[in-house]
C-alpha cells in the first residue's frame, strides 16, 4: 500500500480535487435550475406531475448513455460531463421542491395574500422558506448521486477518480480501483456531512425534517 501511495499519491490527490470540482459544479447548476423551476411548477399540479414524470423517465436512461449523447453536442472533457450530470440530478431536487411547496398549509399562503403580498413575495417569503427542509433533503441526496456518477465522467475525458477505475480495469490493478472507490465514498460522505451543517444553519430548528 505504501508503495502504491508513493507512486500514485500525488495523482490521486489531483484526481480527487478534479472529481470534487466536477461534482460540485454539476450540483450547483442542478440547484439553480431545479429549485426555481420547482417553485414555479408547484402552482400547477397537472403540469408539475407531467414534468416530474418526464424527469423520472430521463433518470432511467443509463448515465453512460447520457454522457455519450453529450459528445456529438459538446465534444469531450469536463463541459459535457457537467451538463450531463446536472441534468441527471434534477429529479430529486425538483421533486422535493414541488412536494415541499404543495405540502404548505393553504391557510398560511392565504394569510400572506391577505396582507397584500404579491405572488412573487409569497413564493420568496412563504413557499421557499417553508419548503426548504425538503429542498435541502433533495440536495443532500443529489450530492451523493452526483459524486458517485461523476466516476463515469472519465468515459468522455472529464478526468476525476474515474480515471483510476478505468485504468485499474485496463491494467488489472485492483489497488487503483479500490483507492478510487474509497475516495469517492469519502467525498460523498464528506459532502453530505458539510451539507448537514448548511441545513442546520439555514433551516430553523422547528422546520427540520428527518431523512
In sequence order, what are the residues at sequence separation of 6 or more whose Cβ sits closer than 8 angstroms to the Cβ of residue 166? 154, 155
User: Which residue, 163, 137, 52, 140, is CA-closest to 98?
Assistant: 52
Q: Would the pLDDT of 111 be above 70?
A: yes
Q: Tell me: the pLDDT tens digits for 66-110?
A: 888 888 888 888 999 999 999 888 888 999 999 889 888 888 888
Q: Would the pLDDT of 211 be above 60?
A: no
Q: Note the pTM of the prediction, 2 decimals.
A: 0.87
Q: Tell me: the pLDDT tens digits for 164-208?
A: 998 888 888 888 889 999 999 999 999 999 998 888 877 766 555
Per CATH, the homologous superfamily of domain 2-207 is MetI-like (1.10.3720.10)
Q: Tell me: the pLDDT tens digits for 120-129?
A: 888 888 888 8
The residue ranges of every structural domain in the chain are 2-207
Phi/psi class of residue 111: alpha, beta or left (left: φ > 0; alpha: ψ in -120 to 50)?
Answer: alpha
| The pLDDT value given to residue 205 | 62
3-state secondary structure of 117: coil
3-state secondary structure of 172: coil
The answer to whether 32 touches 169, Cβ cutoff 8 Å, is no
- The DSSP-derived string for 68-114 is HHHHHHH-SSHHHHHHHHHHHTHHHHHHHHHHHHHTS-HHHHHHHHH
CB-side neighbour CA atoms (13 Å) of 150: 34
The answer to whether 67 touches 155, Cβ cutoff 8 Å, is yes
Dihedral sign, CA of 65, 29, 164, 181? Answer: negative
Joined together, the cell numbers standing for residue 3 give 508503495
Amino acid at each position: 500500500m505504501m508503495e502504491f501511495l508513493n507512486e500514485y499519491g500525488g495523482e490521486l490527490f489531483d484526481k480527487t480535487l478534479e472529481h470534487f470540482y466536477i461534482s460540485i459544479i454539476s450540483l450547483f447548476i442542478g440547484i439553480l435550475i431545479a429549485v426555481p423551476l420547482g417553485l414555479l411548477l408547484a402552482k400547477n399540479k397537472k403540469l408539475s406531475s407531467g414534468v416530474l414524470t418526464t424527469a423520472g423517465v430521463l433518470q432511467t436512461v443509463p448515465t453512460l448513455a447520457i454522457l455519450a449523447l453529450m459528445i456529438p453536442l459538446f465534444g469531450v472533457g469536463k463541459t459535457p460531463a457537467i451538463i450531463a450530470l446536472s441534468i441527471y440530478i434534477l429529479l430529486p431536487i425538483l421533486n422535493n421542491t414541488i412536494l415541499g411547496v404543495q405540502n404548505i398549509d393553504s391557510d398560511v399562503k392565504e394569510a400572506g395574500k391577505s396582507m397584500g403580498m404579491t405572488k412573487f413575495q409569497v413564493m420568496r417569503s412563504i413557499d421557499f422558506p417553508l419548503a426548504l427542509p425538503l429542498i435541502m433533503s433533495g440536495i443532500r441526496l443529489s450530492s451523493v448521486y452526483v459524486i458517485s456518477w461523476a466516476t463515469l465522467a472519465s468515459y468522455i475525458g472529464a478526468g476525476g477518480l474515474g480515471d483510476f477505475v478505468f485504468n485499474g480495469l485496463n491494467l488489472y490493478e485492483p489497488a487503483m480501483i479500490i483507492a478510487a472507490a474509497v475516495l469517492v465514498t469519502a467525498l460523498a460522505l464528506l459532502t453530505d456531512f458539510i451539507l448537514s451543517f448548511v441545513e442546520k444553519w439555514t433551516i430553523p430548528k422547528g422546520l427540520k425534517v428527518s431523512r
